[in-house]
Structure 1
Amino acid sequence: MSRLRPMSPRRSYDQYCSAARALDVVGDRWTLLIVRELLAGPRRYTDLHADLPGVSTDVLASRLKDMERDGLTTRRRLPPPGAAYVYELTTRGRELLPVLQALGTWGRPELGERRPTDAVRAHWFALPLLRVLEGEGLVEVRLEEGEFHLYVGTEDGPVYGDGPAPTEPDARLALDTDTCTAVARGELSVPDAVRAGRITVTGDGTLAKTLREG
């Protein structure tokens, strides 16, 4: 990891407008995508860099420093044997979830076909799925690219995580990437995908039963 650079003065649009003030804080390139990654909970710098393909180490270090200054993130050291620093969202930072959800909804028409240069991570589908799943519970999702889990209906803490669910989930969903992309684009609803056999739902929790009966 590169050494964190000193914080530069915050640039401002110098407009007395809440939208302009918000963009003063989160309008820089990569900032909201770092928030997307940290919605999974505490992450090490190396993990963030691995899941943000295209960001340079200097830019990532600078953005993290700025986000800490602006009260969006904190940095703490894990106890032994980890002894690594992790970054996590503050309450203020977690309040950006609906902003990212709204951007995701607005950006659905921009997805189009996946380009050869497009990177993809399984957990990037977490927020689109979270937007359309109703109820409460832990959901494990299996795609061709990998597994992730969602905390549906939670108010605090992580909203998703990479890999299998840490405890027995309320529901397990298995689907291919084309189906997940169609759901993310708004072209296919989860109940319709379940009825068509494009999403397989297993589990004994209330959420699983609701999905199967939906």
Structure 2
Amino acid sequence: MSPRRSYDQYCSAARALDVVGDRWTLLIVRELLAGPRRYTDLHADLPGVSTDVLASRLKDMERDGLTTRRRLPPPGAAYVYELTARGRELLPVVQALGEWGASALGERRAQDAVRAHWFALPLLRGLAGESGLVEVRLEEGEFHLWAGAVDGPVYGDGPAPQEPDARLAFDEETCAAVSRGELSLRDAVREGRVEVLGDGALAKELREG
């Protein structure tokens, strides 16, 4: 485990960057906001990170109280990493960074990797003030998210684990426009660019809002 580097400045922003300022750390947080993840799954969803760097960052994050590692009971018997309560407090930080960076997103470049669940946090911003389980279908795949979640994971890969309060279907262009901040989720629904299915209160509110 590498010694923690510090800016040695009596400033809360500098103290925060002492912990999360290294390359990849906040993207690991983004992945762990989906709940416990195996090392191999983290590596697969962080294209470009080396195994050595990922292992080092995870050790640093555990030392700094952002993550814990535990062994799943049989038949899983694999180790998983998950955020602590302190680590989960970084959700609004990651969301704010995403919102700030939306204008720089631009069109997807040929070399840009993409995972369906990377759109979860932009969509959570669009569902601010709402609560409920939402299943989302994109051309890249499916994921689900918990709007208004207080604790636990805020999103996950694949279909919703139970009957969702709403199902949303986007095309690639619409999802990208929402992610870049060019189009609000509600405007996309009003314009017929997002299909909303379901009989839950959230689905009805989105269709009528």
TM-score after normalising by structure 2: 0.98
Find the aligned partners of 1:152 and 1:160 in 2 and give their Cα distance.
9
Q: Does 1:147 align with 2:152?
A: no
Residue 156 of structure 1, CA deviation: 0.2
Q: Does 1:23 align with 2:11?
A: no
Partner of 1:199: 194
Find the aligned partners of 1:110 and 1:176 in 2 and give their Cα distance.
21
Find the aligned partners of 1:29 and 1:179 in 2 and give their Cα distance.
30
Residue 8 of structure 1, CA deviation: 1.0
C-alpha distance after superposition, 1:64-93 (max 9, x if no partner) = 000000000000000000000000000000
Residue 108 of structure 1, CA deviation: 0.8
1:169 corresponds to which letter in structure 2?
P
TM-score after normalising by structure 1: 0.96
C-alpha distance after superposition, 1:159-191 (max 9, x if no partner) = 000000000000000011110111111111112
Find the aligned partners of 2:185 and 2:2 in 1 and give their Cα distance.
45
Residue 202 of structure 1, CA deviation: 0.3
Q: Does 1:118 align with 2:112?
A: yes
Partner of 2:157: 162
SS of the equivalent of 1:117 reads: coil
Q: Does 1:63 align with 2:57?
A: yes
Partner of 2:172: 177
C-alpha distance after superposition, 1:82-132 (max 9, x if no partner) = 000000000000000000011011101110111110000000000000011
Partner of 1:35: 29
Asked if 1 retains the 8 angstrom alpha-carbon contact of 2:126 and 2:186, the reply is no
Find the aligned partners of 1:14 and 1:132 in 2 and give their Cα distance.
38
1:104 counterpart (98, 101, 104)? 98
Report runs of 4+ in structure 1 exceeding 3 Å deviation: none
2:85 counterpart (81, 88, 91)? 91
Asked if 1 retains the 8 angstrom alpha-carbon contact of 2:36 and 2:80, the reply is yes
Partner of 1:79: 73
Aligned residues: 208
For the aligned residues, what is the CA RMSD?
0.6
2:32 corresponds to which letter in structure 1?
L
SS of the equivalent of 1:49 reads: helix
1:211 counterpart (201, 206, 209)? 206
Find the aligned partners of 2:151 and 2:120 in 1 and give their Cα distance.
16
Asked if 1 retains the 8 angstrom alpha-carbon contact of 2:117 and 2:156, the reply is yes
Residue 194 of structure 1, CA deviation: 1.1
- Unaligned 5+ runs, structure 1: 1-6
1:96 corresponds to which letter in structure 2?
L
